[in-house]
């Protein structure tokens, strides 16, 4: 499985859909929002946590359509399905590769982008913590959506329509953790709910993704 993960990481970088693209999109969102909202420091500071979460969520969408599409196109997915490695492990590998190339860089860069938005000093650690806990859920949910749409022409748009509603709970609780932390309020409840979504996604969705892949490969 480690060899498959390393292969997926190399493919993600070669396809141009990982580290750089997600960060560039995240930066564009952070830069453009102040132009739309206006030069109101107090307002930007109040909504900075939500903007960072929305930007991270949208950045995670960019490379989802490539998770299984490249293997589908060159026939590697059929070989993986008949290999000793179960498809559940393949789905986990794809989701982890997506998180390492997209989600983790966004977590690392979020304090810098928070500075651009005037994020309150108390909110930095909670923005990083919420993204660190919540972005794996985005990758595993995205892997499930990518498995549903694999082999469909122009499946990228359909993938976004399928995945975005599933992202909403993660967005709500992740942004709530960051907002409450910025305002000095208790974060235990939304943090536990966010962690529950992530661990639930990691535990259940690889099996759902593998089931869908088996159906699509018939």
pLDDT digits (tens, 9 = 90+) for 134-190: 999 999 999 999 888 887 776 677 888 889 999 999 999 999 999 999 888 999 999
Residue 204 has pLDDT above 90, yes or no: yes
Number of domains in the chain: 1
Q: What confidence score (pLDDT) does residue 96 get?
A: 92
What pLDDT, on the 0 to 100 scale, is given for residue 18? 57
pTM: 0.90
pLDDT exceeds cutoff 90 at 107: yes
For residue 17, pLDDT beyond 70: no
Report residue 5's pLDDT band, with 50, 70 and 90 as the boundaries: confident
Cα separations (Å) of 175 from 28, 58, 121?
Answer: 19, 14, 16
Residue 14: per-residue pLDDT: 67
Domain that holds residue 78: 2-217
Tens digit of each residue's pLDDT (9 = 90 or more) over 48-83: 999 999 999 998 888 787 788 777 877 778 788 788
Residue found under tokens 């490539």: 66
CA–CA dist 83, 77 (Å, integer): 10
Record the tokens describing residue 46, joined without a space: 């109040």
């Amino acid at each position: 499985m480690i060899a498959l993960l390393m292969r997926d990481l190399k493919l993600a970088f070669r396809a141009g859909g990982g580290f750089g693209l997600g960060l560039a999109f995240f930066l564009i969102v952070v830069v453009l929002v102040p132009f739309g909202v206006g030069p109101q420091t107090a307002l930007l500071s109040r909504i900075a946590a939500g903007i960072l979460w929305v930007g991270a969520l949208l950045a995670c969408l960019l490379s989802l359509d490539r998770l299984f599409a490249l293997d589908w196109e060159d026939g590697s997915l059929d070989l993986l399905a008949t290999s000793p490695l179960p498809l559940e492990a393949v789905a986990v590998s794809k989701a982890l590769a997506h998180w390492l190339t997209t989600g983790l860089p966004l977590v690392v860069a979020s304090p810098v982008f928070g500075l651009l938005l005037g994020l309150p000093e108390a909110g930095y650690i909670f923005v990083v913590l919420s993204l660190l806990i919540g972005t794996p859920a985005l990758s595993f949910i995205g892997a499930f959506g990518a498995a549903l749409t694999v082999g469909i022409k122009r499946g990228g748009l359909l993938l976004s329509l399928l995945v975005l509603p599933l992202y909403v709970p993660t967005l709500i609780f992740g942004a709530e953790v960051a907002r409450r932390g910025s305002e000095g309020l208790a974060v235990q409840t939304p943090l536990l709910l966010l962690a529950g979504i992530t661990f639930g996604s990691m535990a259940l969705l690889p099996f759902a993704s593998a089931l869908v892949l088996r159906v699509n490969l018939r």
